[in-house]
Amino acid sequence: MKLKDDKKVIQIFQAALKLVAKKGLSGITMGDISREAGIATGTVYVYFKGKDELINALFAACRENSVKVSFKGYQPQMPFKLAFKHIWLNILRYKLQNFEECVFLEQCYHSPFITTETREKALQLSAPFYELMMRGQQEQLIKSTDVGLLLTFIIGTINELVKQTHYGGITLNRSKINTSFDLCWDGLKA
Amino acid sequence: MKLKDDKKVIQIFQAALKLVAKKGLSGITMGDISREAGIATGTVYVYFKGKDELINALFAACRENSVKVSFKGYQPQMPFKLAFKHIWLNILRYKLQNFEECVFLEQCYHSPFITTETREKALQLSAPFYELMMRGQQEQLIKSTDVGLLLTFIIGTINELVKQTHYGGITLNRSKINTSFDLCWDGLKA
DNA sequence: TTTGAAAATGAATATTTATTCACTTATATT
DNA sequence: AATATAAGTGAATAAATATTCATTTTCAAA
């Protein structure tokens, strides 16, 4: 008996991500994906019931990955600003290095593929970020406004920075990264 | 002789925007658009050669509109911070009230529909924003860093705020709008 | 009012794309 | 090594979608 090959799923995912970043969610077909992954079209259907299931699974995988990576190396005993910058940089690095995932996630947001269920599961993943910001407020280091507003502010600055970097509007370097962090931090600080 | 009806183009555009915001660029068909616009499928082809041309035309129209609206009521003699807040609010209001246009623009960014030509024309439209920021720097009111970085920061915060507002993550009111502006301004100020 | 040129129509057609399935291949288990 | 079971294949089929076109309707100009 032959067993399903986890590597195949990864191949399929990576092919889909690459194509979505290049052509958008509207521009990819199952044929494209299988070709890019180097397998037969039918094989994709061994791993996923259809296009919908494939897209939903990839969406879930990307969301989980993004959260996991963001908190990598975070130690609660770090001083807040240091911890915050650590995570801020993690997120930035993740988004720069996994731009395809980010594009995919953004495109999915307004697509008929993603089910309400998948969407809700994704939302629950932001809990750790809320906790982090509340810690900063307790230590009176950052403004004591609606945490949702603060997170929106933070994520917004990073997202746009990544987008502009990838489209050549900005050439990022160490100094610009620090400047961008300072823009964000100066906005947040109490 | 019957003449082409400008209102039809607007009907088609609005139908397309509504559908893209609801289902994403990947979820719309020419049939959907014509039905939503209340006209026959063939009629769409009287106004546009095909789907590609329709999407490109809509993209260009949305970009132009967004810039025009952003600078509405801007008087160069206004004190900088006031002028800046005026425009900041214009952009926010525009994006909130024309969410469908924003979604459409975002989705187009990574789609096979938009041609390089359309893309380049869109880029040129950001010139007035650069000038505004340079004025603020000359008056030593905002940080003297790369203007592209500052604009990215500003637009990012607004974009994410709008997105979260529309997806129920945030319920915006006057106070939250001011808080968000302050986050942005405190980040920018020299 | 008549006319004709162009818009509007939507069923028919062409094209693209998702999905299936009869078949082949690979490999765990015996 | 033999067997069985599931993966892998890709051409064939089904389904969805874009586009065309013969026909009808509209309306500006004569």
The pLDDT assigned to B56 comes to 95
pLDDT of residue A26: 87
Dist. CA B32–CA B26, nearest whole Å: 12
Distance between CA A171 and CA A183 in Å, rounded? 17
Query: Are the beta carbons of B160 and A152 separated by less than 8 Å?
Result: yes
- Say how far apart CA A116 and CA A109 lie, in whole Å: 11
Mean pLDDT of B155-173: 91
State whether A170 and B189 contact (CB < 8 Å): no
Q: Is the pLDDT of residue B157 over 90?
A: yes
Reported as a single tens digit per residue, the pLDDT across B58-115 is 999 999 999 899 999 999 999 999 999 999 999 999 999 999 999 899 888 888 888 8
pLDDT, residue B70, reads: 93
Contact indicator for B169, A153 with CB cutoff of 8 Å: no
- More confident position, A159 or A120: A159
Specify the domain boundaries for CATH 1.10.10.60 within chain B: 1-47
Contact partners, residue A115, CB within 8 Å, separation at least 6: A56
Query: Where does residue A166 rank: exposed (0-12), middle (13-18), buried (19+ CB within 10 A)?
Result: middle
Report which DSSP code applies to B189: B
Nearest protein residue to nucleotide C3, judged by CA and C1' positions? B1
The answer, yes or no, to whether residue A1 has pLDDT greater than 80, is no
Q: What pLDDT is attached to residue B141?
A: 98
In terms of Cα–Cα distance, which of A15, A115, A8 is closest to A59?
Answer: A115
Q: What is the mean pLDDT of residues B138-153?
A: 96
pLDDT of residue B186 exceeding 90: yes
- Residue extent(s) of CATH 1.10.357.10 domains in chain A: 59-188
**Which candidate from B25, B145, B169 shows the least CB-CB separation from A179?**
B145
Three-class secondary structure of residue B178 per DSSP: helix
A13 or A111, which is more confident?
A13
**Span A169-189, average pLDDT:** 96
Contact B53, B65 (CB under 8 A): no
User: Given this model, what pLDDT does residue A16 score?
Assistant: 97
Is residue B187 scored above 90 in pLDDT? yes
Q: In this complex, do A160 and B156 lie within 8 Å of one another by their Cβ atoms? A: yes
Spatial separation of the C-alpha atoms in residues A9 and B9, rounded to whole Å: 44
Interface test with A, best of B116, B149, B151, B175 (most A CBs within 10 A): B149
Instruction: With a cut of 80, say whether residue A62 has pLDDT above it.
Output: yes
Query: Could you write out the DSSP letters of every residue in A143-154?
Result: --S-HHHHHHHH
Tell me which architecture the domain covering A59-188 has in CATH.
Orthogonal Bundle (1.10)
Distances (CA, A) of A81 to A71, A88, A182, B53, B115: 14, 10, 11, 50, 43
The superfamily in CATH containing domain A1-48 is Homeodomain-like (1.10.10.60)
Residue carrying the six token digits 């999407």: B55
User: In chain A, which residues have their Cβ closer than 8 Å to the Cβ of B20?
Assistant: 110
CATH class of B1-47: mainly alpha
Position A125 pLDDT exceeds 90 = no
Q: Which chain B residues in 117-156 lie under 8 Å from chain A, judged by CB atoms?
A: 143, 145-146, 148-150, 152-153, 155-156
The predicted-structure confidence for A29-39, as pLDDT tens digits, reads as follows: 999 999 999 99
Round to whole Å and give the CA distance between B5 and A22: 36
DSSP 8-state code for residue B113: S
pLDDT for position B38: 97
Mean pLDDT for B38-47 is 97
pLDDT value at A159 more than 90: yes
DSSP labels for chain A? -----HHHHHHHHHHHHHHHHHH-GGG--HHHHHHHHTS-HHHHHHH-SSHHHHHHHHHHHHHHHHHHHHTTT--TTS-HHHHHHHHHHHHHHHHHHTHHHHHHHHHHHT-SSS-HHHHHHHHHTTHHHHHHHHHHHHTT-B--S-HHHHHHHHHHHHHHHHHHHHTTS----HHHHHHHHHHHHHHHB-
Q: Under a CB-based contact definition with an 8 Å cutoff, are residues A62 and A101 in contact? A: yes
pLDDT in tens, A18-56: 999 988 898 899 999 999 999 999 999 999 999 999 999
pLDDT in tens, A81-110: 999 999 999 999 999 999 999 999 988 888
User: Tokens standing for B57?
Assistant: 């035309």
Phi-psi label, residue A170: left if phi above 0, alpha if psi -120 to 50, beta otherwise: beta
Domain B62-188: give its CATH architecture. Orthogonal Bundle (1.10)
